[in-house]
Structure 1
Amino acid sequence: MPMIDIYAAAGTFADPHALATAVATAVKDVEGVPDIPMFRKNTAAFVHELPAAAIANVDGDSAYVRVQVLTNAGALDREKQIAVVERLTGIVAEAAGDPSLSERTWVLLTEAPEGGWGLWGHAHTNAELVTAARAEIAKLQGA
């Protein structure tokens, strides 16, 4: 149930909501979790629009995007890490209407430590998340 934060200069994206939906969907799909409400409702993206003056490289350029993906520990193996970075970079560049932005998009993959993933008012271990997902699947199948 990743949380995705996208930081960019205001005006970079014509439709930040569509971007947030696209990156959340992409990460959920790459992660390969079941398509159940638990994962659909708790994989989310946040687009943070900053003044251009708040972003700079050494030369003062501000046409950069930073994407940070927070997952529970072990959610993304190496193949999935590569896929997430590739897909999110492409989605960001497309949403900006600027293919060259793929050269200026940083994607950071961060893992919450075991037990450091809070949801529903509880800090879950991976085993607890798996148990909750299985319970939801069983409930949906019984409905």
Structure 2
Amino acid sequence: MPLLQVTAAQGALKKSDQDALMSRLTNALLEAERAPIDDAGAQSLAWAYYIEQPAGTIYVGGGSLDKAPLRIAVTTPEGALNKETRAEFVAAVGKIVDDIVGPYEGRLNHWTMLTELDEGSWAGAGQIFYLADIKAAMNIKVA
């Protein structure tokens, strides 16, 4: 049950590139969580937001840039990822962003920020969802 948020400058990506970015990032995150990416239950719980900031409002080193980097923020329940799967996901993000956005000369084209919510801190529809319940809903086989 990941939450993926990509912040980009307005107009940074064509709609087709935006769609490809979000789809590929979502699938990479599901793979890192060991969820089957072709499972409707897993896909229905992988929420993603593409957030555009007005041009000229993203700053690096105190100055706004014409070609601003992406900010990729990922929130997962505590324990959904481990050291190995976080590294796998971050490597996949780097490839995906390079494929779609391209590298930026002399600087990063994105930041990836991973945040975990403590067990019992993920909720919706008036109820708390625990990691075991989320894994069951996403058909993640516990090893």
For the criterion TM > 0.5, the same-fold answer is yes
Gap regions ≥5 residues in structure 1: 138-143
User: What's the CA shift for 1:65?
Assistant: 1.0
Cα distance in 2 for partners of 1:121, 1:90 equals: 38
| The 10-residue stretch of structure 1 (118-127 or 16-25) with the greater mean CA deviation from structure 2 | 118-127
- The residue type equivalent to 1:48 in the other structure is I
Residue correspondences, number:
135
Give the Cα separation in 1 of the matches to 2:138 and 2:34: 13
2:130 maps to which residue?
Answer: 125
Give CA-to-partner distance per residue, 1:19-57, whole Å, 9 cap, x none: 211111111012212443221111122111111221102
Give the match for residue 9 of structure 1: 9
> For 1:54, what is the secondary structure of its paired residue?
coil
> Structure 1 pair 37/120, CA: closer, same or farther in 2 (3 Å)?
farther
Aligned to 1:141: none
Q: Which residue of structure 2 lines up, in the alignment, with residue 71 of structure 1?
A: 76
- C-alpha RMSD over aligned residues: 2.4
Q: Which moved more, 1:117-126 or 1:45-54?
A: 117-126
Is 1:29 equivalent to 2:36 in the alignment?
A: no
Contact map agreement 1:7 1:66 (CA 8 A) in 2:
yes
Q: What is residue 87 of structure 1 aligned with on the other side? A: 92
- Listed as ranges, the gaps of 5+ residues in structure 2 are none
Separation in structure 1 between the aligned mates of residue 47 and residue 137 of structure 2, nearest angstrom: 18
Q: 2:103 aligns with which of 99, 104, 107?
A: 99
Task: State the alpha-carbon separation in 2 of the partners of residues 118 and 51 from structure 1.
Answer: 31
Over 3 Å counting, the alpha-carbon distance change for 1:81 and 1:54 in structure 2 is same
SS in 2 for 1:128: helix
Question: Identity percentage over the alignment?
Answer: 28
| Larger RCO: 1 or 2 (CA < 8 Å, sep 6+) | 2
